[in-house]
């Protein structure tokens, strides 16, 4: 399936935002992309260039029952966090095996050697965020500003 | 409900990772935290300090039917991205209204004035990632390293 044919017209730009409709969770397996050396990979969809992120790369992912990464990987500069939002599976980090499931959050240092698989009978859905290690300076309410402006919505 | 009593013992540390069980999506409304000036807020759970993130803050969030943020906010340094994973609602950014739903991805510049609500009859679940604008230098396969090591799993 051509990724662009189904998704390129689902973007809306404002002065200070970009919004994109990636589709329901049940559609995640239909995403695909070309990876040099691996060919067409299904169930992986990168969001950085789609919405213009400048501080992280994010992918939304679906791995079918029995599926798994065919390689281990580490990173050079970037920390990663895996947010599992549906299903069950396993991660292997530096040879250590972790059972993961809906609600598992796994942060990995750049040099953690990682791979993962879906050893269940249902799709495994997860979000991966990759950002430069130690790049955050202030955060949460410490970075937020709340102007004096009442919230109002149309009826 | 005390956040720590239910979740502090659900963390596992390795040399290069921290894993944390945040609970199933249906448990997200049960998370709560104290916000200075607002009191106890339900359905919001920050992950940075929980798993030791150094490049972003992440929250997992549930907003009940009819719920909404009682204020607008902007940021000083940080870009945000909202990843809606269940339900329907609306965001308001610089006065512009966007319908959002499962699969909507909304990136906002630090100075976008934002608020949001759940105007549906089902819970609205979403993940917010906040990271320093322009902090990412290389990403995806450009930052990854794939060592020559075969993947093997125990039976």
Token pair, residue B5, equals: 């009593």
> Helix count (H) and strand count (E) of chain B?
2, 14
The pLDDT value given to residue B1: 40
CB pairs under 8 A between A and B: 294
Q: What is the pTM of this model?
A: 0.94
Nearest chain A residue to B54 by CA distance is: A134
Contact between chains at A127 and B83 (C-beta distance less than 8 A) = yes
Which one of A37, A44, A53, A146 would you mutate to disrupt binding with B, by most B Cβ within 10 Å of its Cβ?
A: A53
- The residue extents of the domains of chain A are 3-134
Tell the CATH topology of A3-134.
Answer: Jelly Rolls (2.60.120)
- Homologous superfamily, domain B3-135: Jelly Rolls (2.60.120.10)
Helix (H, G, I), strand (E, B) or coil at B142: helix
Q: Are strands B124-132 and A39-42 parallel, antiparallel or unpaired?
A: unpaired
Contact between chains at B83 and A58 (C-beta distance less than 8 A) = yes
Question: Is the separation of the CB atoms in A136 and B53 below 8 Å?
Answer: yes
Nearest chain B residue to A104 by CA distance is: B21
Across the interface, of B19, B24, B77, the residue whose CB is closest to A98 is B19
Nearest chain B residue to A112 by CA distance is: B16
Question: Is the separation of the CB atoms in A136 and B55 below 8 Å?
Answer: yes
The pLDDT value given to residue A9: 64
pLDDT one digit per residue (tens) for chain A, 155 residues: 445 445 556 999 999 999 999 999 999 999 999 887 778 889 999 999 999 999 999 999 999 999 999 999 999 999 999 999 999 999 999 999 999 999 999 999 999 999 999 999 999 999 999 999 999 999 988 999 999 999 999 98
DSSP A133: T
């Amino acid at each position: 399936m051509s990724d662009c044919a189904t998704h390129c017209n689902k973007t809306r730009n404002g002065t200070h935002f970009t919004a994109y409709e990636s589709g329901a969770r049940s559609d995640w397996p239909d995403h695909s992309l070309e990876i040099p050396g691996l060919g067409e990979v299904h169930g992986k969809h990168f969001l950085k260039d789609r919405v213009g992120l400048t501080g992280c790369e994010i992918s939304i992912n679906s791995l079918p029952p029995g599926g798994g990464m065919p390689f281990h990987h580490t990173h050079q500069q970037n920390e990663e966090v895996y947010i599992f939002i549906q299903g069950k599976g396993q991660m292997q980090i530096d040879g250590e095996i972790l059972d993961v499931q809906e609600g598992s959050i796994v942060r990995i240092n750049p040099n953690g050697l990682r791979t993962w698989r879906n050893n269940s009978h249902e799709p495994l859905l997860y979000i991966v965020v990759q950002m430069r290690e130690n790049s955050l300076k202030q955060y949460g309410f410490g970075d937020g500003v709340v102007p004096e402006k009442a919230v109002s919505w149309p009826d």
